[in-house]
Structures are given as structure tokens and as C-alpha cells.
Amino acid sequence: MKAAIGQFAVAADAVTNAQTCLQLMAQAQAAGADLLVLPEGILARDIADPDLVRRAAQPLDGPFVTALREASRGSKMTTMMTVHVPASHDGKVWNILIALRNGEIIAEYKKIHLYDAFSMKESTNVIPGNEVPPLVDVCGLKVGLMTCYDVRFPELARRLTLDGADVLVLPAAWVKGPMKEAHWEVLCTARALENTCYMVAAGECGARNIGASMVVDPLGVAIARAGEAPTLLFADIDPARIAEARRVLPCNENRRFAAPQL
């Protein structure tokens, strides 16, 4: 599988962000990518106006997702990202990871762990999900879905791996701060290594967030990484590497605790 990460800074209007996504999709498809992962919350965001995610939210059949769906039509490439979608609870929204392929939404995941940490409170505007994400088949590999703050909770990654995941994807908007880049690298590496799977982590860049997108292999080796600027990053996902990692490091077989239940 050829994986791509489209790292960019999310603008305050959906039209601009849709155009950025369409460009990244076209470039990734032209390069032969099987999987493209974009950051978290890409519909619209403003660091000076955190409530914008509520006002800008669109249903999944709205113009933003529809434009991306149409762009995916006729292609075997799977594109993943998260968008904010209106919910029926006090005007709040869902933070939903969607997977698009050939004009259709083939999977959805409502973010379970909301970022109520480091003086921020995502739950002011967002409702948490409560269902284990589905696995998505891409080129015969099983891809598990996670979103940003989820990476700090190892039980979700372990559950997805026990369900059969070979690859974990992580759209994110990782906020800058003391040691935050170190946290990102350690957590993405740990989730890959302890579960002997690939991690494809797409970070938003810009004024508030670190960027630093990365692909980590099943033995904890970062095989591709980005800096702080917009970029399109590629990496090869090798099933043989997964098999070898699980042969020499059989973490799932050696574990002594039951599978996490959510």
C-alpha cells in the first residue's frame, strides 16, 4: 500500500479548505497513492474563534463533503479526514472521521476522546462518540481509525489491533506547547510499536498546531516525517514488515490482560 499524508493549515472558510483538499487528492492520486490521510477538523477553524466549528459545521451530504466525494469518484484511492457535523444536542457537533472512496462514504467514526486538556475544552462544542471505530480494507490491509487525542489512550489502539488492524490512521490538530512535539512523537511511536502496526498520523500545521505528520512502522521506526510547513508526504506500507514484526515481537500473543471493552 502506498500511503500519503496531506499536511496543511486549515483556514476559516470551507471553500478554501475544500480547494486545498481537492488539490491534495489530485496530487496523491496522480502519484499512485492508495490511501490519503488529511488532518482533523478540516472544514473550517479559527484559533481566535473556537466556536466557529459549531457555526461552520455541515451535514455529511452538505457541499464540503459532497465536493470531496465527487472528486473521489472513479478512483480506488481511499481518503480519510475529520469534519464537524451538526448533532441534535444543544447545538453541538460531532467530530467525525470519514473515509471516502469512489464517490462514497465507506466508513464513519465519531471521536471518542475529546480534548479537554492543557487548558482547552473540546467538549464545549463537540459531543463524544461511544462506538469502537470500524476497520477499513485498503489493498487487503485492515486500517483502524483514530482521531488526535485518541492516541493518548492505548486501549483504543490495542482494541483496533485485536480486531485485526494492520495500520492505524490518526488525523490530528496537535496544539503547540511545551514538550507537545515530544508527546506527539512518543505517542505515535508507542502506539505503532506496542501493537506492531503502522501508524499514519496526519497533523495540521499553521499558527496553532505543530504539523509534524509522520508514518511509523511496526517496530517503531519513523519512515517518513514532515516539518512545520504544508506538504504532501508519501510512505510505503509493507505487509511483510508487519508479519516480521509480529513474528519477532508477538505482543498480542504475550499479553496477560483481556481485550479492552469500550
- CA-based nearest residue to 160, from 131, 186, 135, 128: 135
According to DSSP H, which parts of the chain are helical? Answer: 14-30, 52-56, 63-72, 154-162, 180-195, 239-248, 251-254
User: What dihedral do alpha carbons 167, 173, 176, 177 form, nearest 10°?
Assistant: -70
Q: Are 188 and 168 in contact (CB under 8 A)?
A: no
Going by their DSSP bridges, the two strands 78-86 and 93-101 should be labelled as antiparallel
Q: Is the dihedral of CA 171, 138, 239, 252 positive or negative?
A: positive
Q: Which three cell numbers stand for residue 89?
A: 444536542
Marked catalytic residue, from 40, 122, 194, 204: 40
Marked catalytic residue, from 111, 188, 194, 197: 111
Q: Is 139 a catalytic residue?
A: no
Q: Is 111 a catalytic residue?
A: yes
Marked catalytic residue, from 21, 110, 122, 148: 148
Q: Are 77 and 28 in contact (CB under 8 A)?
A: yes
Q: Is 180 a catalytic residue?
A: no
Q: Are 75 and 29 in contact (CB under 8 A)?
A: yes
Residues labelled as active-site residues = 40, 111, 148
